[in-house]
Amino acid sequence: MSDRRSSSQTLPSRRRILNHFKERDPRMVGVIRKVGPLLLQRNRNYFVVLCRSIVSQQISTTAADTIFSRFQKLFDGRAPTPERVAGLKDGPLRFAGLSRQKTAYLKDLSRHFLDGAIRPRQLNYLDNEEIIGRLTQVHGIGRWTAEMFLIFSLNRLDVLPVDDLGLRVAVQNIYGMKTRPDVKRLRTIGRQWSPLETVGTWYAWRSLNADTVNY
């Protein structure tokens, strides 16, 4: 069922973040103070974001950047849209460096936008699991990709990507664990962070990498 979310998500202030974690999980306070302000930027180019996520699968960041740049050039300076991707023959996509499988994934993503299975304007008003359910109907999009979409495209504040390796490593370091936490342990920690699981996740990522986290 939809929880009738607002069409915009307001990021919490630094004071609210610090007060929340002081009360719920003081271990994170030192990380938050060291990292600084929450710099979570929303990307509203939903279709392009999902195209890039497909292009980037199982290849290096450098290779993904190169192939995605070639992909974008196929549209003569215009933004990729479901109509434009659906209208492309497979040949140019393959020549840009996309595998046969990823080409099929991009076409399937386009179909989901064109037939209304994914409606960009509706996404803001659906709950997280509804969005994950719709996105994972697309071939090539799994739960992790859908969770990244929730965080970086919709700025949902209550997302805990328990299968994310970076989060597991960061939590292990922050809490001084001997081994990486399993899903059950991460969910226990997530309950302490609630309803700001995304905020905790973003700061955990930044504890490993000083660069601003984007997607």
Residue-wise pLDDT tens digits, 12-45: 999 999 999 999 999 999 999 999 999 998 899 9
**Is the pLDDT assigned to residue 130 strictly greater than 60?**
yes
Six token digits for residue 67: 């192939």
Question: Can you say whether the dihedral through the CA atoms of 142, 147, 148, 154 is positive or negative?
Answer: positive
Question: Which DSSP helix (H) or strand (E) runs through 28?
Answer: helix 27-35
Tell me which residue has tokens 């699991």. 129
Is this model's pTM higher than 0.75 or not? yes
Cα–Cα dist 215/210, whole Å:
15
**Residue 184, pLDDT above cutoff 80:** yes
Higher pLDDT, 58 or 20: 20
Angle at 109 between CA 106 and CA 111, to 5 degrees: 110
Structural domains of the chain, ranges and CATH numbers in brackets: 14-41+158-208 (1.10.1670.40), 46-152 (1.10.340.30)
Rounded distance between C-alpha atoms, residue 85 and residue 102, angstroms: 12
Categorise residue 155: left if φ over 0, alpha if ψ from -120 to 50, beta otherwise. left
**Cα–Cα distance measured from residue 80 to residue 112, given in angstroms and rounded to the nearest whole number:** 15
Closest Cα to residue 101, out of 147, 137, 65, 55? 55
Please give the share of the chain, as a percent, with pLDDT higher than 70. 94
Structure tokens at 123: 């996404």
- Contact predicate 132/143, CB 8 Å: yes
pLDDT score at 213: 65
CB atoms inside a 10 Å sphere around CB 47: 19
Residue-wise pLDDT tens digits, 152-181 = 999 999 999 999 999 999 999 999 999 999
Q: Distance from CA of residue 60 to its chain's centroid?
A: 17
- Under 8 Å between Cβ of 190 and 200: yes
Alpha carbons 149 and 171: distance in angstroms, whole number:
21
Query: How big is the chain by its Cα radius of gyration, in Å?
Result: 18
In this structure, what token pair is assigned to residue 87?
């209208």
Q: Measure the N-to-C terminal CA separation of the chain; round to a whole number of Å.
A: 27
